[in-house]
Amino acid sequence: MLKLIIPSIMMIPMTFLIKKKLLWTATASFSFLIATLSTLMLNTNMTEHNLTNPILSIDQFSCPLIMLSCWLLPLTIMASQMHMKTEPIMRQKTMISLLILLQILLCITFGASNLLTFYIAFEATLIPTLLVITRWGNQKERLTAGLYFLFYTLSASLPLLIALIMVQTRCNSLSMHIIPLSNLTLLSNMSWSETMWWVACFLAFLIKMPLYIFHLWLPKAHVEAPIAGSMILAAILLKLGGYGMIRMSSLFVPLTKDLVIPFIVIAVWGMIVSSSICLRQTDLKSMIAYSSINHMNLVVAGIFSMTPWAWSGALAMMIAHGLVSSGLFCLANITYERTHTRSIFMNRGLKTLFPLMSFWWLMMTFANMALPPFPNFMAEILIITSMFNWSNWTILLLGLSMTLTTLFSLNMLIMTQHEHPNKHAPINPSTTREHLLMLMHMAPIILLIINPSTIMI
């Protein structure tokens, strides 16, 4: 872990000391080297916690998410270059430093072996994300979006802290290795105090995912955030909720099995409603944001079904969705930089204008639809099978949700690619940097198709 965190920390002074003309190239190159270095973690034994030091550890859940966090940093730097080129050089360096700081906090969060360390890093990710959204957003509504993001996240942070203090009181430890050995896992009392304790532990993660009823902050944050903020929100920050739910579920096994029914029902219903909302969206980024809500609610249902297949599918879905949703936001941003509008009706006929870019639209849309052989398909099969084992009736609701997902994905592809171009359409061709950016999104997906065991538990 330290071989990733220490080079990332050293990138911050490098960013402020480097020459202006080398800023974007050097930071993207060094962050890509760190991402390549993170692949060495695959050689470690993932059957149990691999203690790298007393504070940080790696296991089969945290390793893929840490690798995804490191891989997204060079992609966000590459995607932000055009958006930031008109800014003063000091603001450009500040933006890159915030992205590097966010990667450091994410690596600490996913690698923490102590629940208090996990909580501090989990909440600290709020600060750089909020600064990126409110400072470099495109419209003045970014302040409202930042306010939604701030208060939705903070509203559940205090109950989570109180719940962790109760865990410390009960077990005399907050170590993830010691708590499963204590009597906390034997809790089966359905009293109000135990129920509220369980809700306090999971509420912060359900808001972060977000569960459908807590989802209002996500479309606002995605629409108003710059491309780097949208990519990190979709690819990494939503996965913090799923990772925290997996960690907490193993501590409250009896209570979780008894209390999850309403949350699974809300998650499955939220998938159908969010897919239906996507069919009526005219804003491209808003449609992709509601698509993320759809997929993350499937992850919530899978985690709460408490089966090994479901957890394996949930982890695979989090990794695959992180790459696909980030790629879709990049495509939407590439279009926005030329047309200066996010309207689907104004961005039609892109296949005629950018024939090479239409290939990336096709691949990312198919991956978002979970067509075989993409890893999204494998993840959905595992989760749907586990949900069918949990209740036979879920097959109808999940089948409807998958159908709606296919419909709005095909609608997005047809509306943007196959209509007649707008008469005010841009003529600027796509650049090599943009194709390289999309290739770096697609390469891990292809590798996961070849060897899916890297994200399977």
Q: Which residues of 63-75 are buried (b: 16+ CB within 10 A; e: fewer)?
A: bbbbbbbbbbbbb
**pLDDT value of position 400:** 94
CA-based R_g, the chain, Å:
21
Q: What is the pLDDT of residue 103?
A: 93
Name the average pLDDT for the chain: 87
| Domain-located, residue 440 | yes
Residue pLDDT, tens place only, 25-82: 999 999 999 999 888 877 654 545 555 566 788 888 888 999 999 999 999 999 998 8
Q: Is the pLDDT of residue 118 over 60?
A: yes
Taking 90 as the threshold, does the pLDDT of residue 379 lie above it? yes
The answer to whether position 295 is within a domain reads yes
Please give the Cα distance from 426 to 418 (Å, whole number).
16
Full residue range of the structural domain in which residue 452 is found: 260-457
Residue matched to tokens 């994905």: 409
297 pLDDT higher than 70: yes
Q: Is residue 303 part of a domain?
A: yes
pLDDT > 70: percent of the chain:
93
pLDDT band for position 320 (cuts 50, 70, 90):
very high
Confirm whether 29 is domain-assigned. no
**pLDDT of amino acid 190:** 60
Q: What does the pLDDT look like over 139-185, one tens digit per residue? A: 888 888 889 999 988 888 889 999 888 888 878 888 887 777 765 55
3-state secondary structure of 423: coil
Q: Does residue 345 belong to any structural domain of this protein?
A: yes
Q: Quick one: average pLDDT of 426-444?
A: 88
Secondary structure percentages of the chain, helix, strand, coil, to 5: 75, 0, 20
Domains in the chain: how many in total?
A: 1
Instruction: Average the pLDDT over 384-412 and give the result.
Output: 91
How far is Cα 324 from Cα 403, in angstroms, rounded to an integer? 19
* pLDDT given for residue 27 in this prediction: 93
Q: Which SS3 state, helix, strand or coil, does residue 250 take?
A: coil
In a domain, 311, yes or no: yes
Confidence of residue 355 (pLDDT cuts 50, 70, 90): confident
Q: Do the beta carbons of residue 431 and residue 306 sit within 8 Å?
A: no
Mean pLDDT computed over 437-452 = 92
Distance CA 317, CA 382 (A): 10
Q: Is residue 450, in this structure, part of any structural domain at all?
A: yes
Interatomic CA distance for residues 23 and 231, integer angstroms: 21
